[in-house]
Amino acid sequence: MRVAVTGGGGFLGSHLCEALLRRGDSVVCLDNFSTGDPANIAHLLSDPSFEFQPADVSLSVEVTGRVDAVAHLASPASPPDYLRQPLETLAVGSRGTENALRLALRHDARFILASTSEIYGDPLVHPQEEAYWGNVNSIGPRSVYDEAKRYAEAVSAAYRRTHGLSVGIARIFNTYGPRMRPHDGRVVSSFITQALTGEPLTIYGDGGQTRSFCFVDDLIRGLVALLDSSEMGPFNLGNPVERTVTELAEIVLAMTGSPSEVKHHPLPVDDPVRRRPVITRARDVLGWEPEIDITEGLRRTVAYFGARPDRLGTSAAAIRGGQSETVPLAAVKTTATAQQAIPSPSAAVTGVASATSPGLPASAG
Ligand code: NAD
Ligand code: UDP
């Protein structure tokens, strides 16, 4: 099978590319590295079954040759990323999704969408099953992500109804693991970076809010199962074990033996209070469930971060003040520039940083 993966240079996308290559598929990875990192795919470039194509998928998604499936993952995912890139986030969720759908339609290919638990907003129903329609503030700061993903689900479902396209929707709950950027501002990467550098752990609010954390390998198995099926879902993909943010901080501190203190910061606007997936549908229909508990998943993630001490110092500085006072992330270096990691076409890669949609500001990432 030949699979086009948008956002394949990101955290989840690069793991998906790897999993597909491992089982013998060919992969075309499309990314503009607005929140991804060339280092995530540098080790795949020598594989003849892997192609990288620099692209802003909000502008167009063109792939030459056969395409059997399209996995659409391109989108900022971390709250600080999408709050910094509001218009780009709306563009990639709307126009980017339509471009990816059109690619699938042209090739009569399977299409899967990386949607999100943010579809449920700050949920009034707990735990969340797919039949719940959600509670989203359509004009709040998070709406650029939530509503873009809700539109992405709507247009994907409409392509299925209108064109008979084989569409699958994954509602991904908080997923963590190796290749998260230390400075991306999500809670797991922030706490590990802070613990390993002795900086205070930045807990937003009283830390009583909950999330359910899924290890990346489990999530990728779920995405592949969805890709291989002809089911639309939507499917909640996440780990149903719920933790408070304070509990997460305690686990990270104990695991790293860090002397870091905990510092409280204001809760971001519209931060969901509770989140836990019901995964019965994914269990029954896709035969999927998570296998890796938080202790093992965090152990692997801490080992990954700990092996890259050079990246942690600048990252800790970038997230030191907490989400509401973040140092501009443009100041933070990634491990490799696009030019270093991607040999060709270098001119196209050089253009990545300004490859935003017409009329939109260039991203700070
Ligand atoms: P990420 O930021 O690491 O990866 C996103 C990738 O998309 C990056 O490589 C980025 O450069 C690329 N991208 C963004 N806009 C683009 C554009 N216009 N054109 C081309 N490439 C573009 O985030 P992630 O955690 O890997 O998330 C991947 C997908 O999964 C996203 O769609 C996200 O909404 C979804 N998701 C992730 C989580 C999670 O916990 N990780 C939870 C819910 C949903
Ligand atoms: N959070 C926190 N400290 C941080 C980053 C996040 O307390 O340094 C909280 C955040 O307010 C939210 C939870 O951790 O309640 C998960 O945040 P994240 O950004 O990882 O993902 P979200 O589920 O909000 O998209």
- What is the rounded distance in angstroms from the CA atom of residue 321 to the CA atom of residue 156? 39
Pairing type for strands 214-215 and 175-176 reads parallel
With the most atoms of ligand 2 within 8 angstroms of its CB, the residue from 187, 251, 271 to mutate is 187
Q: pLDDT tens for residues 77-122?
A: 999 999 999 999 999 999 999 999 999 999 999 999 999 999 999 9
Among all bound ligands, the one having the nearest atom to the CA of 323 is: 2
Distance 239 CA to ligand 1 centre (A): 19
Ligand 1 centroid–CA 92 distance in Å is 10
Structural domain spans, the chain: 2-355
> Which atom, in ligand 1's list, is nearest to the CA of 74?
7
pTM of the model: 0.91
- Of 82, 120, 132, 145, catalytic: 145
**pLDDT tens-digit series, residues 151-178:** 999 999 999 999 999 999 999 999 999 9
Q: Which of ligand 2's atoms lies nearest the C-alpha of 190?
A: 8
Q: Which CATH number fits domain 2-355: 3.10.20.520, 3.40.50.720, 3.30.420.40, 1.10.10.10?
A: 3.40.50.720
Q: The tokens of 30 are what?
A: 């499309």
pLDDT in tens, 37-63: 999 999 999 999 999 999 999 999 999
Told to judge if 120 belongs to the known catalytic residues of this protein, a careful annotator would answer no
Our answer on whether the CB atom of 16 is closer than 6 Å to any ligand 1 atom is no
State phi, psi for 261 to the nearest 5 degrees. -90, 180
Q: Measuring CA to CA, which residue among 344, 363, 347 is closest to residue 355?
A: 363
Nearest CA, atom 12, ligand 2: 271
Q: Which tokens in the block code for residue 52?
A: 């990288």
Q: Are 236 and 277 in contact (CB under 8 A)?
A: yes
Radius of gyration in angstroms for the set of CA atoms belonging to the chain, rounded to a whole number: 19
CA nearest neighbour of 192 among 87, 102, 297, 270: 297
Is residue 29 within 8 A of residue 5, CB to CB? The reply is: yes
- Name residue 204's beta-bridge partners: 265
- Amino acid identity of residue 27, one-letter, is V
